[in-house]
Amino acid sequence: MVDPAQNTLRFRDDAPAGDPAVTLEAFTDQSNALAVRIEPGEDARNLLPHLDRIRLVEVNFPTFGDGRGYSAARVLREAGYTGELRAVGDVLVDQIAFMKRCGFDAFQPDQPLDAADVDNALTRWPEVYQPTTDARVPIWGLRHGGDNG
Amino acid sequence: MYKYDQWDQAMVDARVAEFRDQCQRRIDGKLTEDQFKPLRLMNGLYLQLHAYMLRVAIPYGTLSGTQMRALASIADKFDRKYAHFTTRQNVQYNWIKLEDAGDILADLAKVEMHAIQTSGNCIRNISSDHFAGAAADEVVDPRPYAELLRQWSSFHPEFSYLPRKFKFAVIASETDRAAMRLHDIGINIVRNDAGELGAAFYVGGGMGRTPMIAPLVRDFVPLDQLITYAEACLRVYNRYGRRDNKYKARIKILVHELGAEEYTRQVEEEFALLLAQNIEPPIAELERIRTYFEDPAFEAGASVKLDRSDPDFAVWSDRNTHPHRQSGYVSAVISLKPVGGIPGDATADQMRLMAELTEQYSFDECRVTHTQNIVLPHVRKADLFALWQRLEAAGLGTPNLDQIGDIIACPGLDYCSLANARSIPIAQQISERFNASGKGDILGELKLKISGCINACGHHHAGHIGILGVDKKGVENYQLSLGGSEAEDTSLGKITGRGFDEAGIVDAVETSVDVYLAQRQDGERFLDTYRRIGMEPFKEALYG
Amino acid sequence: MKILTGNDLKTGAVTWWDGSGWSLHVDDAVDAGEEADAIIAQEEAARRINAPYAILAEKTEGGVRPAHIKDRIRGLGPTVRPDLTLKPGDPNAVREVI
């Protein structure tokens, strides 16, 4: 899962999209673009009409403290996006578990990833309090049999 | 009160392990301070003026005797034998070592406590009414809703890197005892015309640099949509709250700049989308939580008589108790504001005594108030005298609830690296002066609040009399404000004029009080007289 | 003069650059002058100090007096708890810092 040469971490079985990710602005002009990169201030919902053809969405984190990308990811997954959702930029191993819950399935941080730290981060949380599109059963589901009906 | 099940415990234990690992990686140099800082803040660990400070969460201010005793042990074992109770119902230790942090969190976890999200740009401790479950005027006990929100907000994967901190308050009465409208989100549990319970959402309040009173965003969210609606409010904030300027990053700025109507529209739009995601816990979960907040085994027919023959006891019971909905019971307020003392501080010995009294006299439950006192919510009138005697002997019996001696003060420049001026010595001098002259006894309700800097942790904007410490060319200076209120008649104090030095501000408070005494009518409080006569008479007396 | 201060990473104690290391006592602080930034960078990288920064101070008969009251309080301890300061036995310590 960790590719040290590229400093990527990927949780998908399919081949990565080879196309470079274009900016959101460029993407809306290029009907054959398959990969797009969104910046924190950009509205991920602009991509909703095009979800079918997108194979890769890169979400940039220029500084790890800017958490807008977490909402961007959830918004896309909630809308039914199933392609690769990659967190790039200032992504620290301590954020990976939450990012994964928000729907990211690939990570390409600026800083090198330590495999042992990654492993710890991913196995740290035995349960979760909230449901997301990652389909983990939230604690209230364990208490009351899995659904909120 | 709520008790963890195996899953709550597993989460807190996992957090302890995570933070131990993060501390070790910092000590080993694998994390820089810039990378470590938000992680340690999310575990309540600040680097403060003299040392690391740890802020321990006390969810909606509720504690058991065992927990209070554990807090005392931590003060002895890891700190300097005292702790400070805060204006957000939490507790702080001022002399913590990073190398002990993991062990402290482990000790806390043993008694179902933690320091999760008590700092950082995330959802903080959810505060509530310190008379919850006891007050006659509440619609329901608000704390089950606070607990539901607490679990929802803990380790929330989307909302851990917000533009800024986020504070909730939850109440369930018309009387606001939690400064509800001065929070990022204030929730009031109400009944609609059909008698159903729901949540009124107020969004965009706060103090600090630009104080604002939260507007009503939705007057009735059904209980089975509470979490989904909160999520919608937070998501709009996470996406659109300002990130360019730390001083304009709270949700109050977003609501103000968009306008409440547009913010509401965006929330409703997001809410409609989120409903399809089924993120709401089942009502069964709320009902499960509610079972922890049922009435304790009140004694039926408890005596309503109070022997007032001891005059000191009579004064204390008149001032420091609050009516209880169960006949024969009261809520008792333990003052952490002895004359000339440090507001909100308690020694480890005092904490152990309070633990004992909590167990003996209040069904093993006490509360921390946002005014830095401790409440024993369910005390039999028959036990009140014995309780008071024990409090008196320990310096915890000052009969000054909501009076001028019941000062709210942040730690200020004596402890806090953000501060511009010392707040505690001002509090001490005011307390001593009004006690020595006896004037404090004839003023009635007067809520005086002191902040050592613009961050307003002392809630000075909401003080009937407010004091703000500023830095005037390297010298401490104090601004006086009048007419603030944290209750349901929420208002923000107005500055009187130019500031005063240390001696001057104490005189200025006395001058203002003298104007009130000269002008008050028919049992008016200070606040009422100010609202009636306005600022002019005070300005006149202060500045001539 | 320009003196350097920071916190010990593990204990959190406030410390002052004394020319060769980090002392608990502000009176040991030396003038870092032009070297301030270089010393800060070197010490932080070696993890001998956490969150260091430079402040203005003057040399006095008694020792070293930081220019700003905040730093003076930092060098002593909370003025309202003399027993918890670095000079619990000195009745003048608090007055001198204010």
The reported pLDDT for the residue numbered A145 is 83
List the single residue in A with minimal CA-CA distance to B279: A131
Give the A-side interface with B, CB within 8 Å: 40, 43, 64-68, 70-71, 74, 78, 92, 94-95, 97-99, 101-102, 114, 117, 120, 124-133, 138-140, 142-144, 147-149
The span from the CA of B114 to the CA of B108, in Å, is 6
pLDDT digits (tens, 9 = 90+) for B280-328: 999 999 999 999 999 999 999 999 999 999 999 999 999 999 999 999 9
C84 inside 8 A of chain B by CB: yes
Residues 220-239 (B) with a CB less than 8 A from some CB of A: 235, 238-239
Least Cα distance to B167 among B112, B207, B218 occurs for B207
Contact A70 B8 (CB under 8 A): no
Predicted confidence band of residue A35 (pLDDT cuts 50, 70, 90): very high
DSSP string, B444-472: -S--EEEESSTT-TT-GGG-SEEEEEEEE
Q: Residue A65: which of B161, B277, B281 has the nearest Cβ?
A: B161
The span from the CA of B494 to the CA of B289, in Å, is 42
Contact B414 C84 (CB under 8 A): no
* Rounded to 5°, angle at Cα B313 from B307 and B315: 110
Distance to chain B for C67, nearest Cα, Å: 8
pLDDT value at A2 more than 80: no
Cβ pair B367, B63 in contact under 8 A? yes
B21 inside 8 A of chain A by CB: yes
Contacts of C51 in chain B (CB under 8 A): 33, 47
Note down pLDDT in tens along chain B; length 544 residues. Answer: 999 999 999 999 999 999 999 999 999 999 999 999 999 999 999 999 999 999 999 999 999 999 999 999 999 999 999 999 999 999 999 999 999 999 999 999 999 999 999 999 999 999 999 999 999 999 999 999 999 999 999 999 999 999 999 999 999 999 999 999 999 999 999 999 999 999 999 999 999 899 999 999 999 999 999 999 999 999 999 999 999 999 999 999 999 999 999 999 999 999 999 999 999 999 999 999 999 999 999 999 999 999 999 999 999 999 999 999 999 999 999 999 999 999 999 999 999 999 999 999 999 999 999 999 999 999 999 999 999 999 999 999 999 999 999 999 999 999 999 999 999 999 999 999 999 999 999 999 999 999 999 999 999 999 999 999 999 999 999 999 999 999 999 999 999 999 999 999 999 999 999 999 999 999 999 999 999 999 999 999 999 9
pLDDT digits (tens, 9 = 90+) for B64-79: 999 999 999 999 999 9
B282: Cβ contacts below 8 Å, ≥ 6 apart: A140, A144, A147, A148, A149
Residue from B5, B7, B121 to probe the interface with A (highest A Cβ count within 10 Å): B7
pLDDT digits (tens, 9 = 90+) for B459-494: 999 999 999 999 999 999 999 999 999 999 999 999
Pull the structure tokens for residue B3: 């008790």
The span from the CA of B115 to the CA of B92, in Å, is 10
Predicted confidence band of residue A148 (pLDDT cuts 50, 70, 90): low
Contacts of B245 in chain A (CB under 8 A): none
pLDDT value at A3 more than 90: no
Tell me the backbone φ, ψ of residue B348, rounded to 5 degrees: -60, -40
Q: How many CB pairs under 8 A join A and B?
A: 110
Contacts of C87 in chain B (CB under 8 A): none
DSSP string, B11-78: HHHHHHHHHHHHHHHHHTTSS-HHHHHHHHHTTTEEE-SSSEEEEEB-GGGEE-HHHHHHHHHHHHHH
The SS3 of residue C37 is helix
Pull the structure tokens for residue B495: 């500055």
pLDDT (mean) for A74-94: 97
Q: Is B291 left (phi over 0), alpha (psi -120 to 50) or beta?
A: alpha
pLDDT digits (tens, 9 = 90+) for B501-527: 999 999 999 999 999 999 999 999 999
Q: Which chains touch A (3 or more CB pairs under 8 A)?
A: B
The reported pLDDT for the residue numbered A5 is 66
Contacts of C13 in chain B (CB under 8 A): 51
pTM as predicted: 0.97
pLDDT > 90 fraction of chain C, expressed in percent and rounded: 99
Pull the structure tokens for residue B347: 């020694």
Q: Which chains touch C (3 or more CB pairs under 8 A)?
A: B
Residues 41-60 (C) with a CB less than 8 A from some CB of B: 47, 50-51
pLDDT (mean) for A26-44: 94
The reported pLDDT for the residue numbered B137 is 96
Contact B425 C80 (CB under 8 A): yes
Pull the structure tokens for residue B520: 């008050």
pLDDT > 90 fraction of chain A, expressed in percent and rounded: 82
Residue from A94, A95, A119, A122 to probe the interface with B (highest B Cβ count within 10 Å): A94
The span from the CA of B172 to the CA of B187, in Å, is 8
Predicted confidence band of residue A7 (pLDDT cuts 50, 70, 90): confident
pLDDT value at A147 more than 70: no
pLDDT digits (tens, 9 = 90+) for C43-91: 999 999 999 999 999 999 989 999 999 999 999 999 999 999 999 999 9
The reported pLDDT for the residue numbered A4 is 64
Predicted confidence band of residue A112 (pLDDT cuts 50, 70, 90): confident
Predicted confidence band of residue A113 (pLDDT cuts 50, 70, 90): confident
Cβ pair A138, A130 in contact under 8 A? yes
Contacts of C77 in chain B (CB under 8 A): 50
The reported pLDDT for the residue numbered B110 is 98
Contact B7 A142 (CB under 8 A): yes
Distance to chain C for B425, nearest Cα, Å: 7
C24 inside 8 A of chain B by CB: no
